[in-house]
Homo-oligomer: A and B are copies of this chain.
């Protein structure tokens, strides 16, 4: 990549740097290739390391770069499209092996979830923790909140994962009447970050799903997707359009 001069314009240096690097990535680097380290790059562009890092952070947020401590900065592959319904797999993860059930505990859900579930404050619900994999990499973690009233027959096994699967099995026996979703930006808490192989505070897309059954909100799922590597897709709203490549 050429060491272009940074002319003095009203444009911030880090932003100009981002553009220059972005173009270099397009033309001179292959996916997976390792970039020079930050100190060298900063010297090459004649800026402080902090300024260079601002540009790299932008590019990482955009899914162009992947940085790993102790390893280096590499060119990221294009984002993977992960389907986030609403599709045929009405209940969460039915007929799908992309989700792995990790655990199930009984908790008092956070306030926003209580509002969606319309349970009484302080009431305990099942919380099934799952991880979604794609090409062997974890792309999302999820907490599925299921009031005990929704799944009266769920087994009370000792093993959390087994118990979680039992809750899910019960769920699928219900007639799903509808669902709705919301997507917003968040930052990964410590535990989510660890599961997603990211640092705390990493940008994530939070998908909140409400599942309706028996005329009320039967469950609420809060899924946390890596924002750098994922593009959330919402399937065709009409089956006609399946031909487009």
Contact residues of A with B, CB < 8 Å? 11-12, 14-15, 18, 58, 61-63, 79, 81, 86, 115-116, 118, 177-187, 190, 200-201, 203, 205, 210, 212, 215-217, 227-228, 230-241, 243-245
CA distance A58 to B187 in the complex (A): 7
Q: Could you tell me if A181 and B228 are in contact, using CB atoms closer than 8 angstroms?
A: no
Chain B residues within 8 Å of A178, by CB? 236-241
Nearest-CB distance from A84 to chain B (Å)?
A: 8
Give the number of copies in the complex. Answer: 2
8 additional contacts (CB under 8 A) given A178-B236, A212-B240: A58-B187, A79-B184, A86-B234, A177-B240, A180-B235, A182-B231, A182-B234, A217-B241
B177, B205, B217, B228: the one contacting A238 at CB < 8 Å is: B177
A61 surroundings in chain B (CB, below 8 A): 185, 187, 203
Q: Are B233 and A181 in contact (CB under 8 A)?
A: yes
The interface residues of chain B lying within 8 Å CB-to-CB of A239 are: 178
Nearest 9 CB-CB pairs, A to B?
Answer: A178-B238, A212-B241, A178-B241, A86-B237, A185-B227, A184-B231, A177-B240, A181-B234, A183-B232
**A62-B187, A86-B237, A238-B212 known; A244 vs B182 contact (CB < 8 Å):** no
B residues less than 8 Å from A210 (CB atoms): 241, 244
Nearest CB of B to A72, in Å: 21
A233 CB contact (under 8 Å) in B118, B180, B190 = B180
Contacts of A243 in B (CB 8 A): 215-216
User: Can you name the residue of chain B whose Cβ is closest to the Cβ of A232?
Assistant: B183
Q: Do residues A244 and B232 form an inter-chain contact, with CB atoms below 8 A?
A: no
Q: Which of A118, A187, A216 has the most CB of B within 10 A?
A: A187
CB contacts (< 8 Å) of A14 on chain B: these are 201
A128 vs B71: C-alpha distance when bound (angstroms): 44
Q: How far is the CA of A177 from the CA of B244 in the complex (A)?
A: 13
A81 to B233 Cα, complex, angstroms: 19
> B180, A231: Cβ atoms under 8 Å?
no
The contact of A244 among B15, B116, B233, B235, by CB within 8 Å, is B116
